[in-house]
Amino acid sequence: MDIAMPEGTPIIAARSGTVVKASEVGLVSIPYEFNQPLGKLPNFTLGN
């Protein structure tokens, strides 16, 4: 599953199943199933 985000999007917290990012309208939770080990965040700016 690919998630398109602008480069430099601030990721303030992440856990398996949910990505929480800061935005102009507040906090937005995006359901997301990580395929990386827990504790390692995917690099959204590189599209990995």
Q: What is the pLDDT of residue 9?
A: 64
Residue 14's nearest CA partner among 1, 30, 3 is 30
Does residue 46 contact residue 36 with C-beta atoms inside 8 Å?
A: no
Q: What is the pLDDT of residue 48?
A: 46
Q: What is the pLDDT of residue 41?
A: 62
Q: What is the pLDDT of residue 25?
A: 57
The whole-angstrom separation of Cα 44 and Cα 2 is 9
Q: For 1-48, how does the pLDDT look when each residue is reduced to its tens digit (9 = 90+)? A: 566 666 666 665 555 566 656 555 555 555 555 555 555 565 565 554
Q: What is the pLDDT of residue 5?
A: 63
